Structure formats: C-alpha cells, structure tokens
Amino acid sequence: MNSPVASGPAPLYDKPHSVDLAQVMMVFQYFMLVSVSLGLGPRLLRWVESRTADVPGVSELEQALPVGTSFPIAIVLPLIALLTIPYAAIVFQLGRGRRWARTFAVVFAITNTAIGIIGVSRTYGDITALVIAPIWIAMGLSILGGLASRTGRQWFRQDGWAPWYARYEMDQLEHRRSGRRSVPAGDEDSAD
C-alpha cells in the first residue's frame, strides 16, 4: 500500500463543534450578564437616591420618576448596548477563526464569570448565588474548553474557514506537486 505520510493534521473544512460550543456559551453568558445588570438597576437607583437626597432639584426629579420604571432602564439600556457590540463582534469572529477574537473571548469569559457571580450574590443574595455560581462556572469552562480543544486550536491556527471547495482544491494541488497520488478510500488495490 502506498499511503501518504501526513505532514500535519488534515485541514478543517467545517467549523468544529468545540468552537460552536464556545459561541453558544458566549451568547448564553451575554444574556445572563444582561439579566444580572437589570437586577443591578434598582440597586444603582437606590445608591444614586441616597447620594443625591440633599441636592436641590434632583430629589424632585427622582420623586417624579417612580422607582422601577424609566430611570433604571435609562441607566441600564445604554450599558447593554455598549456591551452588545463587543460581544457580537467576538462571537461572529470566533466562527471565522480570528485569533484576536479567541483572546478576547477568554478574557470576557473569565471576567464575566466573576462579574456574574458577584452581581447575583449582591443583587439576589448569597443563597441564590450558591445555586447560580456553578452555572456561571460551567459556562466559563465550556467557553475555555471549546477554545482550548485540539480542533479549536487547529481552527484558529489555520485562520478559520475558507470555502471547503477552495481548500479541497488547494490540498489536491499540494498532493500533485509533492508527487503523491491521491487514492480514493477502498481502492488501494487498484492504485498499483
């Protein structure tokens, strides 16, 4: 049998499922972070009210805006919009195999896990945080594991996705140049 010696792992023609896992978990982590931020809104409002109780004009404005209606949303929505842009960019660029996105995804996963656990414990209490913390940790580990897997590393090493037919044609050209004859699977006897 004339079996070609592989110089490295075969190129990936499709995005590996480990990268899919990291992308999906980053989306879940984003929505959980947004829910914690909405829970922090009323706490932020109470903190602002305590700091501005003796400032003329501000206390009248706070009384005109009831707690829990437009004021917390006015604080939280711009923060959510600001958080959405980098998250969307990172998630999409992970699918394209960009190395900078992998670096930022690792930083975001670790940072947001810490923010999420602290936010849940401060907003909803320590008992709820004990229940929710393993979920945050599992999501962070899923992101890190998906990006650190063998196929995940290979995906970023080859700079992600190119159309499968273009990569296939490049591989066939490389095989022809190296003098190795491509033999279809199961036809090893007919190659002689």
pLDDT along the chain (192 residues), means of 10: 57 85 95 74 67 71 57 68 90 92 96 88 80 92 96 89 66 75 55 48
CA distance 101 to 82: 17
Which among 99, 109, 100, 76 has a CA at the least distance from the CA of 157? 99
CB distance 33 to 113 below 8 Å: no
Residue 25 confidence (pLDDT): 96
Q: 10 Å Cβ neighbour count for 102?
A: 21
Residue 175 confidence (pLDDT): 77
| 191: Cα within 13 Å, side-chain hemisphere | 13
Contacts of 177 (CB under 8 A, 6+ apart): none
Residue 181 confidence (pLDDT): 58
pTM of the model: 0.66
